[in-house]
Amino acid sequence: MTPIEVGITGLGALVLVICLHVPVGIAMAVVGAGGFLVLTGSWSGMFSLFGTETVSMLTNQEFSVVMTFLLMGGFAGIAGLSGDIYKLANVWIGHYRGGLAMATIAGCGGFGAISGSSIATTATMTRIAMPEMEKRNYLLSLCSGTLAAGGTLGSLIPPSIIMVIYAVQVEQFVIDMFLAAVMPGLLSIFLFFIAIRVYLMMNPSAAEISPRAEWAERLKVTRKSWGASAIIIVVMGGIYSGIFTVNEGAAVGLVMTLAFAYMRGALKGQAFWATIYESAGSIALLYLIMLGANIFTYFMTLSHMPQEIVEWVKSFDIPPMAIILMLVAMYVVLGAVFDALAGMVLTLPFVFPLVTGLGFDPIWWGIINVMVIEIGMITPPVGINVFVLKSLRPEIPLSTIYKGVLPFLIANIVALFLVLFFPEIALWLPNALR
């Protein structure tokens, strides 16, 4: 068999193994190692591949920031900083029609800037915001749709764990990814606000108008939420200004959130160790996925399959943007039936060389990738954020959640197309600060 034939066979074997419900990380590692053995005939090389790639992953300083951000998000949650962000948004914009839902979106964006995780943002904000919206007689569909969609901002608002993984995999600067995500993140929040207002124009009885907070209450809540604001300003301001590296900024944020949790008495009992155990489990799963992805990528590179795909696509003389649109459609379908992060890591060996070979900016494509992942997180039949919310509120039917998600899904698609056709939305900030 030629190397290309081995690569195609390996890809088919990977799909088959995943369909047998083997975890994605293990499937990629086994198929990648098997393909390496077929191409080289070296048993010792195959076994050493596991050792070298594991050491490479565990000693990669850029990827170690993921663990720090996960811990920071965990301690921020138990310290109540997410509640502070939500209350701050609520006292300033909660009195508008749909203001509580908009405050929830703003709260999700703020907590996403601390946690870096979509799932953590959805789970945390559901516990905080859902009871408040129910008190104001918000329809369950609007409540659940706001929270499931708002949680996706944890992936887009920097710092984002998915962005770190993408940057490490394709050897781009993490800071450039964070800078490129600022405007698309703000754009998504703005479009979510519009989606809420349009929804309430069509369904005026879906939410009550909250009373306007007094200035004394606004100032009181603003002062109380200084901790969350300080963490965001110090961490992201320090990273963007060059005072901190990304690792140093994450470490500073972790110390700050740990200090706030301690001062607020949130580390009593098993809270500290529970946060450590939960973060350790998440990081172990991510490391397994990344290890498998690295081994599979090595096999794909050895087979020359990515280069052949690039040349094959170019031979059809299709406009580059048409190819990008086809890739976006592929990711939306993939995200609807497959874990979004695993789908990104799995396809990067083929898609990234194709996109850069067509002359597109890798940072811009990274933002597009994250935005498509956002869509996959709330798209049926999987939509991981929907199931996170469902697990916390099992009495809410899935049909109700998906009905509420629809306006935000449309807003996400509009944001995606704006960044697709106007790349400077993502690129002007990193270009300006280089």
Q: How many CA atoms lie within 13 A of 73 on its CB side?
A: 35
How far is 373 from 383, CA to CA, in rounded Å? 10
How far is 83 from 87, CA to CA, in rounded Å? 6
| pLDDT above 90 as % of the chain | 14
Residue at 123: amino acid letter: A
How far is 152 from 370, CA to CA, in rounded Å? 10
pLDDT at 27 over 70: yes
pLDDT at 337 over 70: no
Are 303 and 347 within 8 A, CB to CB?
A: no
Residues 6+ away with beta carbon under 8 Å from 57:
63, 287, 290, 291, 294
Are 5 and 38 within 8 A, CB to CB?
A: no
**Tokens for 111?**
């907590």
pLDDT (mean) for 154-175:
86
Who has greater pLDDT, 394 or 345?
Answer: 394
Mean pLDDT (the chain) is 84
Query: What are the tens digits of pLDDT across the range 284-334?
Result: 877 888 888 888 888 888 887 777 777 777 777 788 899 899 888 888 777
Quick one: residue 97, left, alpha or beta (phi over 0 = left, psi -120 to 50 = alpha)? beta
Assign 336 a pLDDT band (cuts: 50, 70, 90).
Answer: low
Query: What are the tens digits of pLDDT across the range 386-409?
Result: 888 888 888 888 888 889 999 999
Q: Other C-beta atoms within 10 Å of 135: how many?
A: 11
**Tokens for 256?**
């700050």
- pLDDT for 124: 82
- pLDDT for 340: 64
- pLDDT for 195: 93
Assign 185 a pLDDT band (cuts: 50, 70, 90).
Answer: very high
How far is 380 from 337, CA to CA, in rounded Å? 8
- pLDDT for 344: 80
> Which of 172-181, 195-204, 277-286, 355-364 shows the lowest mean pLDDT across its residues?
277-286
How far is 329 from 373, CA to CA, in rounded Å? 12
Assign 434 a pLDDT band (cuts: 50, 70, 90).
Answer: low
How far is 381 from 385, CA to CA, in rounded Å? 11
Phi, psi angles (nearest 5°) of residue 75: -70, -30
Who has greater pLDDT, 324 or 59?
Answer: 324
User: How far lies 132's CA from each of 96, 127, 138, in Å?
Assistant: 15, 10, 9
Residue of 40, 5, 34 whose CA lies nearest to 17: 34
How far is 418 from 397, CA to CA, in rounded Å? 33
Residue of 177, 194, 205, 115 whose CA lies nearest to 152: 115
**Tokens for 422?**
């106007």
Characterize 337-360 residue by residue with b for buried, 16 or more Cβ atoms within 10 angstroms of its Cβ, and e for exposed.
ebbbbbbbbbbbbbbbbbbebbeb
Phi, psi angles (nearest 5°) of residue 422: -130, 75
pLDDT at 209 over 80: no
Assign 339 a pLDDT band (cuts: 50, 70, 90).
Answer: low
How far is 151 from 419, CA to CA, in rounded Å? 20
Residue of 180, 179, 191, 114 whose CA lies nearest to 150: 191
- pLDDT for 417: 94
pLDDT (mean) for 106-121:
82
Query: What are the tens digits of pLDDT across the range 117-148?
Result: 788 888 888 888 888 888 888 888 888 999 99
- pLDDT for 294: 82
Assign 191 a pLDDT band (cuts: 50, 70, 90).
Answer: very high
Query: What are the tens digits of pLDDT across the range 358-378?
Result: 889 999 999 999 898 888 888
- pLDDT for 338: 62
Using CB atoms within 10 Å of the CB of residue 320, give its burial: 0 to 12 exposed, 13 to 18 middle, 19+ buried.
middle
| pLDDT above 70 as % of the chain | 98
> Which of 30-44, 203-217, 410-424 shows the lowest mean pLDDT across its residues?
203-217
Cα dihedral 168, 171, 173, 177, rounded to 10, equals -70
Q: Other C-beta atoms within 10 Å of 216: how many?
A: 8
Residue with tokens 């607020």: 264
Residue of 345, 388, 350 whose CA lies nearest to 25: 345
